[in-house]
Amino acid sequence: MKSVYYVLFALLITTVSCNNTKDNSVTGKWRIIEFNMFQGGKQVMSSTNKNLTDAGAVWDLIFSKNGKFVQNFNMRNPEMKMETESGTWSISGDSLKILLNSDTLTTKMNYVYKINSDTMKLSLTHPITKNGVTTVFVRK
């Protein structure tokens, strides 16, 4: 199961544009409660809050009002080593755009997002292969 999470981050490297519109409903801290992976448009893996908790999976998102973004997670590698990435975020229509910065690489992601009360659903799908992920986070 841990290797499946590694695939998640490989799928997340998608180039998109970013703008400066902010949506205060996104601001705050969120933790993952559901993870689903798709290949060719068909669901191939699903993890519930219990599965994620039992596996020790962590993926927390922090959206600041000033457009800064931080994520803390341990789902990229089989050792489940905690990592932190930071960058900026913006909203355009139903798109949540995240720009992650590292020493040598900038990663741009364009999620379709939906907030319902204290949950946020994020979907990222490759337009040609239809491979992707859908995650659900709850406000902390």
Give 64-92 pLDDT, tens digit per residue.
Answer: 999 999 999 999 888 999 999 999 999 99
What share of residues in the chain are helix, strand, coil (percent, to 5)? 10, 50, 35
Domains of the chain, by residue range, sit at 2-139
- Output the pLDDT for position 4: 45
Class of domain 2-139: mainly beta
Q: How confident is the model at residue 44, as a pLDDT?
A: 96
Cα separation, 114 vs 3, whole angstroms: 27
Q: Is the confidence at residue 11, as pLDDT, over 90?
A: no
- For 112-127, the pLDDT digits (tens) are 999 998 999 999 999 8
41: which DSSP letter?
Answer: T
Report pLDDT digits (tens) over 28-50. 999 999 999 999 999 999 999 99
Predicted TM-score (pTM) of this structure: 0.80
Please tell me the predicted confidence (pLDDT) of residue 104: 85
Rounded to the nearest integer, the mean pLDDT of the chain is: 86
Give residue 10's pLDDT: 46
Lookup result for tokens 């229509």? 93
Start-end of H helices in the chain: 2-11, 49-55
pLDDT score at 24? 63
Position 82: which residue type?
M
10 Å Cβ neighbour count for 109?
21
* Residue partners of 71: CB distance under 8 A and separation at least 6: 59, 60, 61, 62, 84, 85, 86, 100
